[in-house]
Amino acid sequence: MRIPLIAGNWKMHTIRSEAETLARAVVQACEGLQDREVMIAPPFTALATVAATVAGAKVALGAQNVAWEAKGAFTGEIAPPMLLDIGCRYAIVGHSERRQIFGETDALINRRLTGALAHGLTPVLCVGETLDEREAGQTLAVLERQVRAGLAGTTAENPVVIAYEPVWAIGTGKTATSAQAQEAHAFIRNLLAELHGQESADRTRILYGGSVKPSNVDELMAQPDIDGALVGGAALDGESFARIIHFQ
């Protein structure tokens, strides 16, 4: 039985006071939740503030990226032990913005993922095709390449969350139809079964991301292979994110 995971990626938004207010709204929205999990990933500067705000609540803390080494001369990076020390349980890796804007390769993303696993963080591996790739009929080939490369060196015992985020739907207001999303999720799950066995595939959560909002979350979450959502813009509004958390 896969427990749904609703994750909010705040990206480069919120100073500490704003982060505390938003985190309090998330805590309130999660009161009494029993059948789903919620994670929020504030910017690094707000992690300590948010960690204190969600302490004791049913809200997990995540990071928006993670380095692969425990320490060293890596200016601008954040080591896994630093994230664990501040209370993080999850770390997002391979987000399309890291791939598209900052040029992160599949090999680098794999180093981040395996580094997170080595220190006890659960990575959320983001995969997804661009609009050009979808229109060229390359969606499944892109997903296969990114999943295989991202999970290289891992085993069935490694806890990983996958997030399918079609690049053309991130921050654009466009959303994959529930059928398009389900097709991609089912493909990823079948690929996981090939890589790590059916039991591992059956327990791995695959999230959908890409303009998830209150008006479409119910239909998306009704699909058999969609186990949650990685939410961007709507996660910055307490009321909208609360509605997504309480999907029907």
248 residues of the chain, pLDDT tens digit each: 899 999 999 999 999 999 999 999 999 999 999 999 999 999 999 999 999 999 999 999 999 999 999 999 999 999 999 999 999 999 999 999 999 999 999 999 999 999 999 999 999 999 999 989 998 999 999 999 999 999 999 999 999 999 999 998 877 777 789 999 999 999 999 999 999 999 999 999 999 998 899 999 999 999 999 999 999 999 999 999 999 999 99
Residues 6+ positions from 4 with CB-CB distance below 8 Å: 35, 36, 37, 205, 221, 227, 228, 247
Active site residues: 95, 165
CATH superfamily of 5-245: Aldolase class I (3.20.20.70)
Which amino acid does the sequence have at 107? Answer: A
Q: How far apart are CA 126 and CA 162, in angstroms?
A: 6
